[in-house]
């Protein structure tokens, strides 16, 4: 019998079974234990990743004025960003309060029928959906993020360019997200696409980040006070 549990756990269950349970009840308990043990371990890993990401997070820009100024700088820089100008579709993100405000760019891309925004599901799954109207096509979804309505179809076409948020970036293209792995899982499916990190200056690490095997590096980083968007080796 391979129940997927440890020896001490099995012994405890056997003792309880002898005292309280019939053989059929014991079988049901083993199945339930195996099911819920996997869920608890998954929660443990998610919490560890989230805590680690939070510990590495640097304070964002100090005040609203500075945030607005840096967001404006990023928008201006993206106006001349060749991959953005030529991309048939752009997989972007709807910014949280502590992320650069790129909503004006999203509005422009939506009018041009080039905007894709992410919609998350359970088990770390994320899909992108074409958005044509930010007011009509979005709702408040997981983690209080504006995301596409559930009835809108998943985008099945190509994605040449990603604009990617994150907690921290480094000049060599390193990126640390919020610990959920949504972007890393999706970006691995699009190895040929250009990945461009979008960040405030305070989110740029002074040294290269120590990445995990599943972390996907960026090709470029757009952030104030950082050298022009830098391509990774």
- Each residue's pLDDT tens digit, 141-192: 766 789 999 999 999 999 999 999 999 999 999 999 987 789 999 999 999 9
Q: Give the residue carrying structure tokens 């209080």.
A: 144
The arithmetic mean of pLDDT across residues 35-56, rounded, is 42
47 pLDDT band (50/70/90 cuts)?
very low
Alpha-carbon distance values, 94 to 106, 117, 228 (Å): 8, 7, 23
pTM given for the model: 0.71
What is the H or E stretch that residue 127 is in?
Answer: strand 126-130
How many percent of the chain have pLDDT more than 90? 58
Rounded-to-10 torsion of CA 105, 108, 110, 116: -30
Distances (CA, A) of 190 to 82, 175, 183: 19, 16, 11
Domain ranges for the chain, please list them: 7-56, 64-222
**Could you tell me the fold of the domain covering 64-222?**
Rossmann fold (3.40.50)
Instruction: Indicate the DSSP class of residue 204.
Output: B
Q: What is the pLDDT of residue 61?
A: 47
Backbone angles phi, psi at 223, to 5 degrees: -155, 145
The number of beta carbons lying within 10 Å of the beta carbon of residue 29 is: 15
- Render pLDDT for 121-143 as a digit per residue (tens, 0 to 9): 877 789 999 999 999 999 987 66
Q: Report how far apart the first and last C-alpha atoms of the chain are (Å, whole number).
A: 50
Query: What sign results for the dihedral spanned by CA atoms 122, 128, 134, 137?
Result: negative
- Four-residue CA torsion sign, 50, 52, 58, 63: positive
- From CA 18, how far away is CA 233, in angstroms rounded? 62
Where residue 120 falls among pLDDT bands split at 50, 70, 90? Answer: confident
**Do 209 and 232 form a contact (C-beta atoms < 8 A)?**
no
């Amino acid at each position: 019998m391979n129940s997927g549990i440890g020896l001490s756990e099995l012994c405890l269950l056997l003792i309880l079974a002898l005292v309280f349970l019939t053989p059929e009840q014991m079988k049901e308990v083993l199945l339930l234990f195996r099911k819920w043990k996997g869920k608890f371990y998954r929660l443990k890993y998610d919490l560890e990743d989230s805590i680690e990401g939070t510990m590495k997070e640097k304070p964002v820009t100090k005040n609203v004025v500075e945030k607005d100024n840096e967001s404006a700088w990023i928008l201006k820089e993206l106006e001349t960003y060749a991959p953005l100008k030529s991309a048939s579709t752009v997989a972007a993100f709807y910014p949280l309060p502590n992320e650069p405000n790129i909503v004006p760019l999203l509005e422009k891309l939506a009018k041009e029928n080039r905007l894709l925004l992410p919609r998350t599901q359970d088990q770390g799954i994320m899909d992108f959906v074409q958005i044509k109207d930010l007011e009509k096509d979005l709702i408040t979804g997981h983690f209080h993020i504006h995301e596409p309505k559930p009835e809108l179809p998943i985008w099945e076409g190509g994605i040449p360019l990603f604009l990617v948020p994150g907690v921290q970036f480094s000049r060599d293209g390193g990126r640390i997200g919020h610990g959920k792995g949504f972007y890393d899982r999706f970006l691995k499916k699009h190895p040929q696409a250009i990945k461009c990190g979008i960040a405030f200056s305070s989110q740029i690490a002074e040294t290269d980040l120590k990445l995990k095997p599943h972390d996907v590096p960026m090709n470029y980083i757009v952030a104030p006070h950082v050298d022009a968007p830098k391509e990774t080796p």
